[in-house]
Chain A
Amino acid sequence: AQSVTQLGSHVSVSEGALVLLRCNYSSSVPPYLFWYVQYPNQGLQLLLKYTTGATLVKGINGFEAEFKKSETSFHLTKPSAHMSDAAEYFCAVSPAGGTSYGKLTFGQGTILTVHP
Chain B
Amino acid sequence: GAGVSQSPSNKVTEKGKDVELRCDPISGHTALYWYRQRLGQGLEFLIYFQGNSAPDKSGLPSDRFSAERTGESVSTLTIQRTQQEDSAVYLCASRPPMNTEAFFGQGTRLTVV
Are A51 and B91 within 8 A (Cβ)? no
A4 nearest CB across to chain B (Å): 9
* Docked pose: A104 CA to B101 CA in angstroms: 10
Are B101 and A108 within 8 A (Cβ)? no
What's the interface size class on B, roughly? 20 to 34
B7 within 8 A of A: no
Q: With A43-B106, A100-B56, A101-B50 in contact, is A106–B42 under 8 Å at CB? A: yes
Residue of A nearest to B107 (CB): A43
A113 within 8 A of B: no
Residue of B nearest to A36 (CB): B104
* Docked pose: A107 CA to B43 CA in angstroms: 7
Which chain B residues border A108 with CB–CB below 8 Å? 41-42
* Docked pose: A34 CA to B33 CA in angstroms: 16
Which chain A residues border B113 with CB–CB below 8 Å? none
Which chain A residues border B50 with CB–CB below 8 Å? 101-103
Residue of A nearest to B35 (CB): A106
Which chain B residues border A44 with CB–CB below 8 Å? 43, 91, 93, 104
* Docked pose: A46 CA to B45 CA in angstroms: 17
B31 within 8 A of A: yes
Residue of B nearest to A49 (CB): B100
B95 within 8 A of A: yes
Task: Give A contacts to B, CB under 8 Å.
Answer: 6, 32, 34, 36, 42-46, 49, 51, 90, 94, 99-109
Residue of B nearest to A33 (CB): B100
Residue of B nearest to A50 (CB): B100
B48 within 8 A of A: yes
A54 nearest CB across to chain B (Å): 15
* Docked pose: A55 CA to B102 CA in angstroms: 21
A84 nearest CB across to chain B (Å): 20
Across the interface, A105 reaches (CB within 8 A) one of B31, B45, B53, B93, namely B45
Which chain A residues border B25 with CB–CB below 8 Å? none
* Docked pose: A34 CA to B105 CA in angstroms: 17
Which chain B residues border A104 with CB–CB below 8 Å? 33, 45, 48, 93, 102
Are A32 and B100 within 8 A (Cβ)? yes
Across the interface, A109 reaches (CB within 8 A) one of B42, B53, B102, namely B42
